Structure 1
């Protein structure tokens, strides 16, 4: 009789994934990048020029990303959301070379380890190295996204650096452009000043309205909120240091045509 495996042993796919996953020590990178620098980037001329099939080879033809994780870091949120929303395409955007390469290698490893798994295949998540502050409309058509995530962005503490913050009136116009009516902007940070900055700018922008955490959970978005709080390296670090996290979410309003 075959020996029964102990209940404590990890599933084969999980064990294989651990063996395949890249090691962060081989992807050293500075914590932040200057978004105004002239980075060497390849980007599409327009969303119509973007080859999404190369990123999601298993997706149906013509399918486009619905979730965009801006400044995705090491991919914690994107990879957490992938099995929760297997029918939605998720895209991480990261400007740093080594970090974006790490996420790509991580996704490749997870896809290989989970081949044939119908619930956690990771074929619906990918990453592009991109400067979202400059080229977001080059990737996404008008009203194509249902969620935008800004998780623990660079605070740019000095006043002269505030222009480099990812939330600003000019950039909010682009975020409103790519979000469909009813789409949600999720922001979270452990810096109270940055939280107040992002919340105030979003409140003052006419195409967004605040939505509470309670409303989101009641609307079936509790898994997303939980992932926003806990899935990123920055979020886990804040928890270890017993710090506070500040969440602010906003809904893209629908403006009737006259």
Structure 2
């Protein structure tokens, strides 16, 4: 009896090996699904080309240090293993170099870093592993879902938004992250004394940030005389900042405190 060219030669022949998923428990493309239905989104998906080192870091560390922003309540004390550790949220960390530097300088502060750029997620995990940082968690998905559905009131000790997309065209201004509706989500989640720190090299966006932050209930400008803050020493120079300075842009920092 003849056999099909696609059938095994004998009944005992092993089945062909199936390649394992690259990230079996790693970052999902859309962790929140329909929960992400809102006008302001904190990101526009950028999966990008990932290196072997970045992929290996996700494979090794995602189960322990990764967080999917799927809309489920998030227990920060359980996430960091300490109810006493203050947690600062960073939205949009790029490749994570500045985030890792700040985490190393503040080992007693938990850094919850949100982005959807897979290579950046892998790079930050690799940097954290290399430096022995145990206070960094990498969150994948839309930060608005996190703010709206997942965090308890007064659970954050700070918010950092460095060099968000400026959406320079007037018709796209509605896509900018720093808007009244965004701050209405953020402010109740901040503890008294928490610092909101934004930075941009796009002057029109800086002016909008200043207007929106100044009008937000419960926030006070740490530099009311000048509006903008001097560049803080604790914020490392980022790639985007260097690019902006090379183009002649003026970098503006804004520091506001939760009352």
Task: Please state which band the TM-score falls in when normalised by the shorter chain.
Answer: 0.5 to 0.7
CA distance in 2 between counterparts of 1:37 and 1:244 reads 25
Identify the residue that residue 121 of structure 2 maps to in structure 1. 100
Larger Rg: 2
**Residues 155, 38 of structure 1: alpha-carbon distance in 2 compared, 3 angstrom cutoff:** closer
Shift of 1:52: 4.6
Tell which deviates more after alignment, 92-101 or 187-196.
Answer: 92-101
Q: State the secondary structure of the residue aligned to 1:86.
A: coil
TM-score by length of 1: 0.66
CA distance in 2 between counterparts of 1:173 and 1:151 reads 19
User: Does the alignment pair 1:225 with 2:246?
Assistant: no
Shift of 1:46: 1.1
Greater helix content? 1
User: Does the alignment pair 1:154 with 2:165?
Assistant: yes
Contact 1:80–1:231 (CA<8 Å) still a contact in 2?
no
Contact 1:213–1:225 (CA<8 Å) still a contact in 2?
no
**Residues 241, 79 of structure 1: alpha-carbon distance in 2 compared, 3 angstrom cutoff:** same
Number of residue pairs the alignment of both structures matches? 196
**Residues 51, 203 of structure 1: alpha-carbon distance in 2 compared, 3 angstrom cutoff:** closer
Identify the residue that residue 250 of structure 2 maps to in structure 1. 244
Measured on the aligned residues, the alpha-carbon RMSD in Å equals: 3.0
Tell which deviates more after alignment, 164-173 or 206-215.
Answer: 206-215
User: Does the alignment pair 1:234 with 2:240?
Assistant: yes
Task: Identify the match of residue 142 of structure 2 among 101, 106, 131.
Answer: 131
CA distance in 1 between counterparts of 2:149 and 2:242 reads 32
Gaps of 5+ in 2: 1-40, 48-67
Q: State the secondary structure of the residue aligned to 1:103.
A: helix
Q: State the secondary structure of the residue aligned to 1:91.
A: strand
**Residues 36, 90 of structure 1: alpha-carbon distance in 2 compared, 3 angstrom cutoff:** closer
Q: State the secondary structure of the residue aligned to 2:165.
A: coil
User: Does the alignment pair 1:196 with 2:236?
Assistant: no
CA distance in 1 between counterparts of 2:109 and 2:170 reads 38
Shift of 1:110: 2.4
Identify the residue that residue 68 of structure 1 maps to in structure 2. 89
Contact 1:133–1:166 (CA<8 Å) still a contact in 2?
no
Task: Identify the match of residue 166 of structure 1 among 168, 177, 187.
Answer: 177
Shift of 1:211: 0.9
Shift of 1:61: 4.1
Deviations, residues 105-141 of structure 1 (Å, cap 9, x unaligned): 2222322xxxxxxxxxx11122111211333244432
**Residues 102, 169 of structure 1: alpha-carbon distance in 2 compared, 3 angstrom cutoff:** same
Contact 2:69–2:142 (CA<8 Å) still a contact in 1?
no
CA distance in 1 between counterparts of 2:170 and 2:147 reads 25
Gaps of 5+ in 1: 1-33, 112-121, 216-221, 254-258
